[in-house]
Structure 1
Amino acid sequence: MAILKTPPDNLKQDKKKKEGVFRRAVNLTLDQFLERTPIHGCKQIRDQRANIFQKAYWIFIICTSTLCACALLATFLIRYKSNPVRINILTNFGQISELEFPAVTFCNPNFIANSMVDGLIKSLETFNEKNEEYNNVTAEDLNKRVKYLAGFTNPIETFDPKDLVDLYNVLNDNRFDVKLTMRKLLYPCSKLLVKCRWEGQIVDCKELFQPSETYQGYCCSFNVIKPLRARTPERRNITAKKTHFFGPNMGLSVVLKPLIEKNAMTSINSEGIKILINEHNLFPSEKTIERSLPHKQETYVEIRPERTISSKEISALPISDRGCVFEDEFPLRVFGSYSEKNCRVECKMRKIVDLCDCLPYFYYNTENIETCDVTKLPCVIKNREHLVKVRRPENNTDDDCVCPVQCDTTDYRIRMSSTDIIPEMSNTINFDPFHANLTDQHMIVHVYFVSSFYRIFIRILTTNFISLISQLGGVYSLLIGMSVLSLIECIYFPTVRLYLNYKKIKFDDTQPKNYSQRLDKVTISSLNVPRLDTAKSDISDISSFRIHSVKHY
C-alpha cells in the first residue's frame, strides 16, 4: 500500500500561510490596541497622517517614559524592602506611673580593700595567731595573692602562675571557693548605705538594696529583678517598683559612706563611687549607663525615660523585613524573655564556658556550670578582649553572637549635677531629717524622674501596601497616563485579543472565495427578488413609457 506524502513545497506554503495569518493577526491586534488604549502617545503612532519621523519620535517618548516609570518603581521597592520601618513620636505625655523605676546599683571602686583582705585572712582556719604560715605561704604573701582575684573583672598584666596555685590550695583547704571569697571581700551594703529614702519616706536600706552580681563583681543594687531561676526563694515573687512621683525629694535618695583606701585595688584613680542605671530586668553589664559620683558631694541624677513601642502592622512583618524582634520571639536560656543587652551578656557567658570550661563568679549560674577557680584566671584574662563579636543576624558567622535589635525598648537619659556637702549645716536647725548627722565621709545621691511625663516613640511602616500602590499609580499616571485598566488592557490585547483575531482570520481564509457570492444568491432567490438585469429592463421600459407619454401630450 502506497503512503501518500505531502510535497515539500506544500509544507513551505502552509508554513508561510500560517506565518502570514499570525502576522496579520498581530497587526490587527496592535492596530486595535493603539486605537483604544489611553496611554499617552499611542494614538499618534497609529495616525495615518504622521510620517515615519513623527512615529519614531512618539515611540521614543513612550519608551523613555516607561523606563523612567520602571526606574521609579524599582526605587520605591528597594526603599520599601531596605527600610520598611520608621520611628515617629506617638506622644510626649506618657505617664511615668506606667514605667518601672530603673535599677540603681552602687559599686565601691575599691573592690579589694586591704582591711577586707585582712578580715578574710583572719577568717581562714589555717591562719591564726599561732600559725602565720601555711604551706610556705605567709599572711603577707596571701595578702598580695588574693588581690589577683581582681583579674576576673579588671585587666591584670603581671602575675605568677605558681602564686595562683598557692592561692588555690590555701582557699581550697579552707573550703573557700572564688564566689565565697569575693563575698567576704565585698564591702558590706550595710556599711556602704547609711540612710535611704523612697518616695519621700525614710526606709531601712536593707528593704531596698541587696547584694547583686554585676560585671564589676558584687555590688549593692536597688530594683534589680533577676531571672526567675536565679532568684532566692524569699525573692521569688518580688516585682519591680513603680512610682507616680517625680522630683529630687520623691525618688530614691541615699546617704553613702564609701570605703576609701589609698593602697586598695581600685578601678578609678579618684575618690568616689560608681553608679549603674539600667532597666530592672537587665544584667548590669558594660552596656549599662555608668557614672562616677564624687565623694563628699550631694549629686542629683535626673532621669528622663523614653519608650519605643511597635504598631500591630510591624508585628505582622517577618523579622527579616522589620529588622527587630519581640521579647517572646527570641527567648534566652538564662534570662528568658529577650533583650539585646542580656543577649550580649549571655553570649559572653557562653564564650567563656567554651574557652575556659567554667563560668566567672559574677554571672547568673542557672545551669550548675562549674565556677572558675583561681587557676582559670589566666584563661579569663587572655580571652577577655576577644570573647564576643556581636553582629546582626544577616552578617553572622559560626563564631559570632547573634543579637537582633529589640523592637520594644525603654531607655533612660540622665543628667547629673553636684554640690559640696557642708557637714556643719546638718547639725543646725534642719527640717529634713534625711540630711541630719552628716560627716565629711558621707556623700548623697538623689535618683529621680525629672517630670511626670515621658516621651513614647512608635515603630510604624514607612510605606504600607495601599500607599505603595498609590505612589506607583501616581508615577505611572504622571509619566505614561497608565491606570489599572490600562494594565489589564496591556495583558488582554497580546493574549486573548490576539488569539481571537488569529482564529477569525484563519477561519476567514479557509472559506471559498465565492462563498459570499453564493450566499447572496441564496438569499435573493429565497426572497423572490428579480434578477438585476430584469430589474434594469423594467426600469428602462418605465422610463420610455414616461417619455413617450410626454411627447404625445
Structure 2
Amino acid sequence: MRIKMKQRLKYYLEESNLHGLKYAADDRRAWFVRAFWCVTFIVSFGIMLLLFYKSWIQFEENAISFVTETTYLHWNTTFPAISVCPITGTEPEWDENEEFTDDEIDQQKQFIADLVFFTGNCYSCYDDCESCKTMNFTQKVLRYRKECKKIIIGCKWNKVDFDCCENFLPLETEYGVCYSFNSMHTNKNIKSTLDLTMNSNSGPGEIWFKNKEDIRVYFHAPEDVPFINSDPDQRKDVMLGETFNITISVIEINNDENVKNVPVYKRGCKFPWENEGLLVHKHYSYSACVVQCHAENHIFLCNCTHHLMPFYNKIEYCNREGLRCLTDNFETVNRLHAKGSGLNKPGLVCDCLPSCIEPEYKVVLDKKGSAMKSSENEVLINIIGLPTTRFKRIVLRSLLDLVVSVGGTAGLFIGASLLSIFEVFYLLRFGQPKGKKNKYY
C-alpha cells in the first residue's frame, strides 16, 4: 500500500501543471537540478501563503474607505428632521376634574409635573404623599401632555404656509411624545404635499414655526430620535416670548452600492433597516441604540424602566419606588462613556455603532431674540447653502477582489488555478502510474 501511494504521488508530481514539480520528480535529471526546483517551489509556495495572509488581513481590516465627492450639481440633499418636545417651563394647566387632596395638593401637583415631564429624576417621589402611590401614571401623562395643535400654531416651509400637525407627527421618545417633522420613525401623512428635497432647482430649505408652549427643539438626521445624551448644539430650549434663528450647514454621507454587502463589523456602521435587537424604535440609528441601552440598564439596575420609555411603557413600568431607584442611579443611567474611558466614573458604555447614512450638521448661526407676543415663541431653522462636498463610503476590497487577488497570486507563483485542486484528486485517485496498462476515466 505504501509503495502504491508513493507511485501515485510520483505520478502526480510528474503530471501536475504546477510550476517546477515535474522537474523535481524527474529521475533523469541531475540531483542538483531537482534540488533547485524543489527549493524554488517551496520558496514560491511560502511567498504565496504570505501574500494570501496579507490579502486576507486587508480584506478583513481595510475593506472600507472614505473619499470626498465634489460633483455637487446634481445632488439631492435631505432637510434634517425637526422634533418639538414640550418641557416643564411653567406649571401644567390643571384639569378642573382633577381630584386633589387638600393636605397633599402641593405634593400631588409636583409629582404629576415630574411624571408628565420626566427627564430621568423624580425628586417628588421622595415626598410623603400617600395619594401619589395609587396614581395611574399613563392616565396623568395623557391628560396633561398637550397634543400638537395646542403646541404648534403656525408653520411655513420656504415661506409657504402648511398644516403643522399634518407634518409634525407624534413620535414616542424617552422624553414622552414629541412632534417630529421629516422623521423616518413617524407614519407619513398621505395628505402632506411637502417636498423636502433640496437641490440646484429648489435651493436650500428653511422651516419656520410658531408655538404657544415652552418647548425643546431638536434638529437631527431623519433616522435619529431625540434622546437624553443628544449633542447640546443640536437642541434648543425655547421659552415663551423668545425667538430663535438657527442656520446650519450639512455634509452628507453617501454609500457605494456594495457597502450594504459588507458585514457590519467591517464597515463599522449600520443601516436603518439593520435593527436586530432594537425594541424602542423601528429604525436603527445611534440615538435609537442609546435609548435601547438606557432601557436595558434601567431594567438591570431597578428591575423596571420609566413610564415614558417607548415600547416598554406598554408592558410594565416603574412605580414610585422604581422612579426613586432611577433617580438614585441618575448619574449612571444618563451619562455615556466611550469604550475604555471613564471607568472610574458613573455612566454607561453602550455598544452602539453610528448610522451609515447620518449627515454631519454644524450650527453656523444661533441668534436669540424676543417674540412679538410674550405668550408665543418662534423658531426659524434654515440651511446656509447647498453642500458642495460630501463623504462617500466605498468598498476597497470586496469578496470578489479577494478571490481575484488570491487567484492571481497563486497563478503567478506556482501556476495554480481552481482546476488545480480537482487535478490533485484526479491524478492521485484515477491516475495510472507508468508501467501499468493505461486506463482513462
TM-score tier, shorter chain, comes to 0.5 to 0.7
Q: 1:163 aligns with which of 128, 131, 146?
A: 128
Trace 1:363-442 onto structure 2 (pairs within 5 A). Answer: 363-365=309-311, 368-382=314-328, 385=332, 409-418=356-365, 420=367, 437=372
Q: Secondary structure at the match of 1:71?
A: helix
Scaled by the length of structure 2, what TM-score is found? 0.67
Trace 1:121-132 onto structure 2 (pairs within 5 A). Answer: 123=96, 125-127=98-100
Please report how far the alpha carbon of residue 56 of structure 1 lies from its aligned counterpart in structure 2 after TM superposition: 3.8
**1:267-313: per-residue Cα shift (whole Å, max 9, x none)?**
xxxxxx643234546543346555244865532133444344644x9
Match of 2:88 in 1: 112
Q: How many angstroms apart in 1 are the aligned matches of 2:169 and 2:365?
A: 26
Q: In 2 relative to 1, CA 238–383 (structure 1 residues): closer, same or farther, beyond 3 Å?
A: farther
Trace 1:293-304 onto structure 2 (pairs within 5 A). Answer: 293=236, 297-304=244-251
CA contact 1:88–1:460 (8 Å) conserved in 2: no
Match of 2:410 in 1: 476
Among all aligned residue pairs of Structure 1 and Structure 2, give the percentage whose two residues are the same amino acid.
18
Q: How many angstroms apart in 1 are the aligned matches of 2:183 and 2:14?
A: 76
Please report how far the alpha carbon of residue 201 of structure 1 lies from its aligned counterpart in structure 2 after TM superposition: 1.1
Please report how far the alpha carbon of residue 252 of structure 1 lies from its aligned counterpart in structure 2 after TM superposition: 0.9
Match of 1:362 in 2: 308
CA contact 2:125–2:324 (8 Å) conserved in 1: no
Trace 1:11-410 onto structure 2 (pairs within 5 A). Answer: 25=7, 29=11, 32-33=14-15, 39-40=19-20, 43=23, 46=26, 50=30, 52=32, 55-80=34-59, 92-93=71-72, 95-96=75-76, 99=78, 101-107=79-85, 111-113=87-89, 115-117=90-92, 119-120=93-94, 123=96, 125-127=98-100, 134=102, 136-139=103-106, 141-142=107-108, 144-146=110-112, 148-149=114-115, 152-155=118-121, 161-163=126-128, 165-169=130-134, 172=135, 177-182=136-141, 193=152, 195-203=154-162, 205-206=164-165, 208-209=167-168, 212-224=171-183, 241-245=194-198, 250-255=205-210, 259=214, 274-280=216-222, 282-286=224-228, 291-293=234-236, 297-308=244-255, 310-311=257-258, 327=273, 330=276, 335-336=281-282, 341-342=287-288, 345-346=291-292, 348-349=294-295, 352=298, 360-365=306-311, 368-382=314-328, 385=332, 409-410=356-357
CA contact 1:41–1:58 (8 Å) conserved in 2: yes
Q: Give the AA of the match of 2:156.
A: R
Structure whose alpha-carbon radius of gyration is higher: 1
Q: In 2 relative to 1, CA 145–340 (structure 1 residues): closer, same or farther, beyond 3 Å?
A: closer
Q: Give the AA of the match of 1:167.
A: C
Q: Secondary structure at the match of 2:434?
A: helix
Q: How many angstroms apart in 1 are the aligned matches of 2:412 and 2:22?
A: 15
Q: In 2 relative to 1, CA 501–86 (structure 1 residues): closer, same or farther, beyond 3 Å?
A: farther
Q: Secondary structure at the match of 1:500?
A: coil
Q: In 2 relative to 1, CA 439–302 (structure 1 residues): closer, same or farther, beyond 3 Å?
A: farther
Please report how far the alpha carbon of residue 473 of structure 1 lies from its aligned counterpart in structure 2 after TM superposition: 3.6
Q: In 2 relative to 1, CA 347–504 (structure 1 residues): closer, same or farther, beyond 3 Å?
A: same
Structure 2, unaligned runs of 5 or more: 338-347
Match of 2:381 in 1: 446
Match of 2:340 in 1: none
Q: Secondary structure at the match of 1:116?
A: coil
CA contact 1:349–1:359 (8 Å) conserved in 2: yes
Q: What RMSD over aligned residues (CA atoms) do the two structures have, in Å? A: 5.4
Q: How many angstroms apart in 2 are the aligned matches of 1:67 and 1:307?
A: 41
**1:175-208: per-residue Cα shift (whole Å, max 9, x none)?**
xx33454466658866865653213213464554
**1:116-174: per-residue Cα shift (whole Å, max 9, x none)?**
15x43x746445xxxxx62x3253x4455555548942346x666453544345xx3xx
Q: In 2 relative to 1, CA 308–62 (structure 1 residues): closer, same or farther, beyond 3 Å?
A: closer
Q: Give the AA of the match of 2:218.
A: L
**1:52-73: per-residue Cα shift (whole Å, max 9, x none)?**
5x65454333212211212322
CA contact 1:38–1:482 (8 Å) conserved in 2: yes
Match of 2:433 in 1: 500
Q: How many angstroms apart in 1 are the aligned matches of 2:146 and 2:307?
A: 17
Q: In 2 relative to 1, CA 502–72 (structure 1 residues): closer, same or farther, beyond 3 Å?
A: farther
Please report how far the alpha carbon of residue 379 of structure 1 lies from its aligned counterpart in structure 2 after TM superposition: 3.5
Q: In 2 relative to 1, CA 191–248 (structure 1 residues): closer, same or farther, beyond 3 Å?
A: farther
Please report how far the alpha carbon of residue 348 of structure 1 lies from its aligned counterpart in structure 2 after TM superposition: 4.8
**1:408-467: per-residue Cα shift (whole Å, max 9, x none)?**
8532321213365677xxxxxxxxxxxx957898554223483288858466572343x4
Please report how far the alpha carbon of residue 253 of structure 1 lies from its aligned counterpart in structure 2 after TM superposition: 1.9
Please report how far the alpha carbon of residue 470 of structure 1 lies from its aligned counterpart in structure 2 after TM superposition: 3.3
Q: How many angstroms apart in 1 are the aligned matches of 2:272 and 2:114?
A: 41
Match of 1:540 in 2: none
CA contact 2:306–2:313 (8 Å) conserved in 1: no
Match of 1:521 in 2: none
Q: In 2 relative to 1, CA 479–337 (structure 1 residues): closer, same or farther, beyond 3 Å?
A: same
Q: How many angstroms apart in 1 are the aligned matches of 2:117 and 2:20?
A: 77
Q: Give the AA of the match of 1:468.
A: L
Q: Which structure shows the bigger proportion of residues in helix conformation?
A: 1
What is the aligned length? 419
